Amino acid sequence: MKALILVGGFGTRLRPLTLSVPKPLVDFANKPMILHQIEALRDVGVTEVVLAINYQPEVMLNFLKDFEAKLGIKITCSQETEPLGTAGPLALARDKLIDGSGEPFFVLNSDVISEYPFDELIKFHKSHGGEATIMVTKVDEPSKYGVVVMEEETGKVDRFVEKPKIFVGNKINAGIYLLNPSVLDRIELRPTSIEKEVFPQIAADKELFAMVLPGFWMDVGQPKDYITGLRLYLNSLRKRSPSKLASGAHIVGNVLVHETAVIGEGCLIGPDVAIGPGCVVESGVRLSRCTVMRGARVKKHSCISSSIIGWHSTVGQWARVENMTILGEDVHVCDEIYSNGGVVLPHKEIKSSILKPEIVM
């Protein structure tokens, strides 16, 4: 089987992290986002992953070459010269996706984090015999999204309603699809939307089915959702393989600590924290609802909550970093500094406090 991952553009919503690497390579729970997806695809027998990309393909490919051998899976790029939306890239990668076997292929949005129940998806797709299956997830506020109206028993999709004013349902497109090769005959090579143009057409032909995604779902393409997604992911990890989570007197709730990270005396860490490879957390530090990425150092008695600390950054002694502060790569926050929602671009030293949310160039 094959899979196409829609990597797309510049990842502006996750800046300043995406100023250092393309968005799919930003770490999530101590490994690049896209690796969560590629590993899950490999586990259900996918042998080739095609990345649909219009930005920095060299960086992506160089990085993923290392993983090709480790995972035993072929990873290639299909590069757009102009943005082609969410369906155009399928037409562009047509020759890579069709191998004559007639097997369906996966299409994934690269921002989506979940338990990836691909096995169940394959079984459901084969059982209904339709042309395409989309995964849907239940949300509390459907009015913010495009809602999928479907038959509960069979999963057959009736129609889509964009940002409904009155309640029509609470299931939205989760950005995970399994499509028969014939779907490619419906897509022209031009900028086009799979959600707004292709799927409604398949639904009108009564060939589109939806499966409700079990477990959690999050689009982690922006900081607030990234932090929420981390909480949901760690919660799911607690149920699936609790041994991967840290434990001890200094740990509260779900915490993921890389084996090469060093943590000092008298810290209190958690809930919902990920500490990456080579990080140093000195004594007396308080961390909650945050990510500390590879090679970062958090100095004595500092306090970090609801924030993302980028690669190789430093947070000084007695500093307080909170309220969706995001430090890009190699940012140095001096001792006793307060950051309230500061978004700091890479390679910057912060010598005075950031009292209200702002971007620091």
- What local confidence, expressed as pLDDT, does residue 60 receive? 78
- What local confidence, expressed as pLDDT, does residue 104 receive? 92
- What local confidence, expressed as pLDDT, does residue 286 receive? 97
Do 359 and 341 touch, CB atoms closer than 8 A? no
- What local confidence, expressed as pLDDT, does residue 196 receive? 84
CA dist 80 and 315 (Å) reads 39
CA dist 242 and 156 (Å) reads 36
- What local confidence, expressed as pLDDT, does residue 300 receive? 97
- What local confidence, expressed as pLDDT, does residue 114 receive? 92
- What local confidence, expressed as pLDDT, does residue 54 receive? 78
DSSP string, 240-293: H-GGGS--STTB-S-EEE-TT-EE-TT-EE-SSEEE-TT-EE-TT-EEEEEEE-
Q: Which residues, 6 or more positions from 70, have their beta carbon under 8 angstroms from its beta carbon? A: none
> Environment class of residue 51 by beta-carbon count within 10 Å: exposed (0-12), middle (13-18) or buried (19+)?
buried
Query: Tokens at residue 316, please?
Result: 């000084």
- Find the length of the chain: 361
| pTM for this entry | 0.88
CA dist 245 and 109 (Å) reads 27
Write out the chain's pLDDT in tens, 361 residues: 999 998 876 667 778 887 888 788 889 999 988 899 999 999 999 999 988 887 767 777 788 788 888 888 988 888 887 778 888 888 888 888 887 788 899 999 888 899 999 999 999 999 998 899 999 998 888 787 788 998 888 889 988 888 888 888 889 888 899 999 988 888 888 888 888 888 888 988 999 999 999 889 888 878 888 999 999 999 999 999 999 999 999 999 999 999 999 999 999 998 999 999 999 999 999 999 999 999 999 999 999 999 999 999 999 999 999 999 999 999 999 999 999 999 999 999 999 999 998 988 8
